[in-house]
Amino acid sequence: MNKKLKYIIRDELEGKIPPNLLDYLPSSYQIIGDIMIIHLREDLVKYEKEIGEAILRKFPNIRTVCRKIRGISGEMRLPSIKVIAGDPNTETIHRENNCLYKLDVARVMFAKGNRKERARIPKLVKPGEVIVDMFTGIGYFTIPIAVLANPKVIYAIDINPTAIEYLKQNMKLNNVEDKIIPILGDCREVVKKLGPIADRVIMGYLPETWKFLPYALKVIKPTGGIIHYHDVFRKEELYEKPIQILKEIAEKEKFNLIKILYRGIVKQYAPRIYHIVIDAFFRPQQ
């Protein structure tokens, strides 16, 4: 449905919540599998059950309605949600780009705003590439690359044991166990052991991703490789500041930024602040 959520459920809630609050019902929502996640204003929280049940009546394919309490937090990127209606089980299977993702929305994140980016990357991967995904999560980028492209191997790293466990399940769901090596650990330590093996490095982490760039460069092959660098910047900083950061850190690590292959906005992160991605080719200095 393209119609705003508040107009879909408004008639269900007339007489159940104060009339002056009807205009402040949530407009947007996120659907992951058969679970809907919404955000409520503080003055609507006391009516969360009524709102959740109204959603279930209007969306027959939704099994569970959750309220987002706060955003993703910490290095493990943990969500904070509460079930407000329906089945209390928050585990689901989400289908996207011919890939299946099993996850528990209360235990691991899933950024729907990155959908186009998850579809874009596999189209760039050449047969036989070695890929390092430094922040794989449940396989947001790893799974579509394995399903839709033909890499030699993907080293999929994450510090969150719950995410790695779901990654392993998603490898089985998508029948790509032979293409992925899941690694539980801090990517900053893992890359030291891997060495310079990668044709392509995925850095799908926010914010301050630049702090991890020296470690991404450590796994680039001696002949050079591509880094997909995600980060957040203010509108007026695009794209001069992120490119300057890439150049300066590369120089410090004795690498050259040879070419910017792509730059784009993934989504709005906050007012006048954007989640961006830059594909850059780096080569070690001789």
List pLDDT tens digits, range 235-258. 999 999 999 999 999 999 999 999
Q: How does pLDDT run across 199-220, given as a tens digit for each residue?
A: 999 999 989 999 999 999 999 9
For residue 65, the domain's CATH number is 3.30.300.110
Q: What pTM does this model have? A: 0.92
Rounded to the nearest 10 degrees, the angle between the axes of helix 5-13 and helix 48-58 is 110
CB 148, CB 127: distance < 8 Å: no
Burial class of residue 281, CB neighbours in 10 A (0-12, 13-18, 19+)? middle
* DSSP single-letter state for residue 126: P
Q: Is the pLDDT of residue 175 over 80?
A: yes
Report the number of distinct structural domains present in the chain. Answer: 2
- Based on the domain organization, do 83 and 114 belong to the same domain? no
User: Last residue of a domain, which of 39, 57, 89?
Assistant: 89
Please state, in angstroms and rounded to a whole number, the distance separating the CA atoms of residues 274 and 107. 25
- Based on the domain organization, do 265 and 206 belong to the same domain? yes
* Count of residues making up the chain: 286
- Based on the domain organization, do 121 and 238 belong to the same domain? yes
Please state, in angstroms and rounded to a whole number, the distance separating the CA atoms of residues 131 and 95. 23
**Residue 28, token pair as written in the block:** 């947007």
Q: How does pLDDT run across 134-164, given as a tens digit for each residue?
A: 999 999 999 999 999 999 999 999 999 999 9
- Based on the domain organization, do 157 and 275 belong to the same domain? yes
Q: How confident is the model at residue 77 (pLDDT cuts 50, 70, 90)?
A: low
Q: Is residue 100 part of a domain?
A: no
Q: How confident is the model at residue 111 (pLDDT cuts 50, 70, 90)?
A: confident
Nearest Cα neighbor of 59 from 9, 109, 113 is: 9
- Based on the domain organization, do 80 and 114 belong to the same domain? no
Q: Which helix (H) or strand (E) holds 121?
A: helix 115-124
**Residue 99, token pair as written in the block:** 């890939």
- Based on the domain organization, do 168 and 267 belong to the same domain? yes
Instruction: Report the half-sphere exposure of 70 (CA within 13 A, side-chain side).
Output: 5
Q: Is the pLDDT of residue 75 over 90?
A: no
User: With the CA atoms of 184, 148, 170 and 214 taken in that order, what torsion angle do they form, in degrees rounded to the nearest 10?
Assistant: 20
- Based on the domain organization, do 84 and 117 belong to the same domain? no
Nearest Cα neighbor of 109 from 152, 80, 141 is: 80
SS3 category, 267: strand
Kindly list the distances between the CA atom of residue 127 and the CA atoms of 149, 153, 194, 197, 235, in Å, as whole numbers in the listed order.
7, 10, 21, 15, 36
Q: Is residue 101 part of a domain?
A: no
Which domain range does residue 81 map to?
Answer: 5-89
CB 101, CB 170: distance < 8 Å: yes
Q: Is the pLDDT of residue 27 over 50?
A: yes
pLDDT at 92: 98
- Based on the domain organization, do 146 and 20 belong to the same domain? no
Tell me what the mean pLDDT of segment 38-57 comes to.
96
Please state, in angstroms and rounded to a whole number, the distance separating the CA atoms of residues 256 and 222. 12
For residue 192, the domain's CATH number is 3.40.50.150
